[in-house]
Amino acid sequence: MPSVPSARHAGRCPRHHHHHQAYSAAEQDLAAALEERLPASADRPLRAQVLATAFLATLRVVLHRFTVDPEQDTTALIHQAVAVLRESFG
């Protein structure tokens, strides 16, 4: 039986799919780099992936906020967003 795309994925254009693939590749690259730098532990691969995903999501939020209000000080916004992320992982 052929699979039927869910409503969530229906209508996605190839360009969106390409962006998702690029984002996933960046996430995996960042996770690999983080894993090399984290202390050895049983959860190091998971920790690296969670940190990479959270950081890239933070940058996505910053980019979205900048596109809504380009007058913002992006450097300050990045610092503020990373501080929120750091506090969350405290």
Q: What pLDDT does residue 89 have?
A: 75
pLDDT digits (tens, 9 = 90+) for 4-50: 444 444 455 666 666 667 768 889 999 999 999 999 999 999 999 99
Q: What pLDDT does residue 11 have?
A: 52
Candidates 48, 54, 51, 56; CA nearest to 23 is: 56
What are the CA-CA distances from residue 87 to residues 25, 46, 81, 83, 84 (Å)? 26, 19, 10, 6, 5
Say if pTM beats, i.e. exceeds, 0.95: no
Task: Write down the domain spans for the chain.
Answer: 16-89
Q: What pLDDT does residue 88 have?
A: 84
